Chain A
Amino acid sequence: MSNEPVEAQQKPLEVQQKKELLAKGEKTVPARYYVPSTDIFETDDALVLVMEVPGVDRKNVEVRLENDELRIEARIDFANYDGMEPLYTEYNVGHFARTFTLPQVIDQSNIGALLNDGVLTLTLKKVQKAQPRKIEIK
């Protein structure tokens, strides 16, 4: 073993336990929902949400925006498991749901979504007026 700093991408990956969604809101069915792991970062003109939703097809993603609440629901197609008998399990499967309260700076009519390899990327453009400006004191 050398003492040189290891590249961040080369570090051994550990299992992240899936987090169950506890505040189910209006759900009436007993099935569990999970909270997708999410990275959120801000660029000059947008807020970007990157969330992991493995097993979700593009047509089963629902992104809803009401007032300032962005609600993402991603449903897995568990019919794929039909006829399969579990022998050994290390994780559970379920739909994903998560809600974020958006800052006022988001242009709510300009939200882009992309799903690739089980990763959902939402690009929330900032409104023009949120650009930094100087305020003059009279």
Chain B
Amino acid sequence: MAVVLTDPFDALFHFQQALDQLRQSDWLDASPSGQGAFPPLNVFRKGDDVVIITEVPGIRKSDLRIEAKGNTIRIAGTKSVANEGKASVHRVERRGGSFDRAINLPIQINADGIKAECRDGILALFVPRAEHDKPRAITIS
């Protein structure tokens, strides 16, 4: 079920429900770092292709390393929570550290065609499905 944004008041609510329903999906089960690793991922289908979105607030582009080989995509990097020059700390909720996550997509991908965008703390990987993996329409003769 694709997300259709018709009613602006309900749209976000329905989108949130749609995201909740897929929480227990076993889509990435075969991956070396499947569920629960940092960064948390959401995977969407857009047309034939797959879009992987993750929240990486405070991580600079230069601190992210993205690799792809075969059907595996690796997202690694460091998040630094710099707070130098402070006199006293009132509240600490942000965490820094390093991360390295690899996922196997259950589809054949075109690793050379992956585009990565990082804006406002959101990393989006546009992963094109391999041409030979796309479904063919069968004509009934």
Which A residues contact B (CB, under 8 angstroms)? 8-16, 29-32, 37-44, 47-48, 50, 52-57, 78-79, 81-95, 115, 117-119
The listed residue (B3, B51, B87) touching A42 by CB distance below 8 A is B87
- A91 adjacent to B42 (CB under 8 Å): yes
CA distance A44 to B51 in the complex (A): 45
Given contacts A10-B98, A39-B94, contact A87 B45 (CB under 8 A): yes
Give chain B's interface residue range (CB within 8 Å of chain A).
Answer: 35 or more
A-contacting 9-mer, from B66-74, B77-85, B108-116, B130-138: B77-85
User: Chain A: which residue is nearest B51 at the CB level?
Assistant: A84
- A44 adjacent to B87 (CB under 8 Å): yes
B102 sits at the interface (CB 8 A):
no
- B41 adjacent to A42 (CB under 8 Å): no
The listed residue (B40, B60, B92) touching A15 by CB distance below 8 A is B40
Which B residues contact A (CB, under 8 angstroms)? 1-5, 9-13, 15-16, 18-23, 25, 27-28, 35-47, 50-51, 55-60, 78-81, 83, 85-100, 118, 120-122
- A41 adjacent to B83 (CB under 8 Å): yes
CA distance A59 to B58 in the complex (A): 18
CA distance A89 to B38 in the complex (A): 13
**Chain B residues, CB < 8 A from A57:** 120
- A39 adjacent to B83 (CB under 8 Å): yes
CA distance A14 to B98 in the complex (A): 9
- B2 adjacent to A117 (CB under 8 Å): no
- B122 adjacent to A118 (CB under 8 Å): yes
The listed residue (B15, B93, B95) touching A13 by CB distance below 8 A is B95
A-B contact pairs, 15 of them (CB 8 A): A8-B97, A29-B9, A39-B92, A53-B57, A54-B122, A78-B5, A83-B2, A85-B45, A88-B22, A88-B25, A91-B40, A94-B16, A118-B57, A118-B120, A118-B121
- A88 adjacent to B28 (CB under 8 Å): yes
- B86 adjacent to A41 (CB under 8 Å): yes
- A81 adjacent to B3 (CB under 8 Å): yes
The listed residue (A12, A56, A90) touching B99 by CB distance below 8 A is A12
Give chain A nearest CB distance to B28 CB in angstroms.
6
User: Chain A: which residue is nearest B27 at the CB level?
Assistant: A88
* Most A Cβ at <10 Å: residue of B4, B11, B12, B27: B12
- B42 adjacent to A86 (CB under 8 Å): yes
